[in-house]
DNA sequence: TGTTTTTATACCCGAAAAGGTATAATATTG
DNA sequence: CAATATTATACCTTTTCGGGTATAAAAACA
């Protein structure tokens, strides 16, 4: 199963050479939140996720779901 | 200020001729949630929003934020 | 290897989201 | 206009997310 959001955050964070702790601080969220996010938890608060994505110049928006088969 | 998500949900719902109540039931969320969502509340749970968007064949994903001026 | 850094799990607590209900306020319709 | 349907606000309760802390596991590095 997929997790585009998870992959996006992990990739971007490593791209910037940040630890989860540093990302948490920069984003203004708790370390636990970053962990949960990167672990694929889905019951996260939208605004908190957006706080993190904002660091990467991104935000959560409705995108067409094209789920033909997998990947 | 914008609210793409709000506009998207309202438009799609009306497009299908549904009331907030009907949308809530179909999505499996409370009526109050739909109201909060369409009212621009940002501290919503991501998975619940996705339940709603799924009815429209969409999902929340990270999208580049292009905030040149407004609109 | 052993040492250190980073990440993953688990537990506790306060804050607040989600849902239900009730009631205003708007729209819609006759 | 009035009557009805739909949407917006407010209050209350239950549930759980988010944060802090502690510890275990895994990675990185000497």
Q: Is the CB of B7 under 7 A from strand C?
A: no
Q: Which of residues 9-28 of A touch strand C (CB under 7 A)?
A: 13, 19-21
Q: Is the CB of A45 under 7 A from strand C?
A: yes
Residue-range domains of chain B with CATH: 4-54 (1.10.260.40)
Q: What percent of chain B has pLDDT over 90?
A: 89
Radius of gyration of chain A (CA): 12
Interface residue ranges in chain A relative to chain B, Cβ cutoff 8 Å:
4-5, 8-9, 42-47, 49-50, 53-54, 56-65
Q: What is the pLDDT of residue A71?
A: 44
Identify the band that residue B45 occupies on the pLDDT scale cut at 50, 70 and 90.
very high
Q: Are B52 and B9 in contact (CB under 8 A)?
A: yes
Inter-CA distances, A62 with A13, B28, B35, B61, Å: 23, 18, 18, 6
Q: What is the pLDDT of residue B67?
A: 72
**Angle, alpha carbons B21-B23-B28 (nearest 5°):** 95
B46 vs A8, A44, A63: nearest CB? A44
């Amino acid at each position: 199963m997929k997790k585009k959001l998870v992959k996006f955050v992990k990739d971007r964070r490593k791209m910037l050479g940040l630890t989860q702790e540093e990302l948490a601080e920069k984003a203004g969220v708790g370390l636990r939140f970053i962990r949960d996010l990167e672990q694929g938890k889905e019951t996260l608060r939208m605004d908190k996720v957006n706080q993190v994505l904002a660091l990467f110049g991104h935000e959560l928006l409705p995108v067409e779901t094209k789920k033909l088969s997998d990947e």
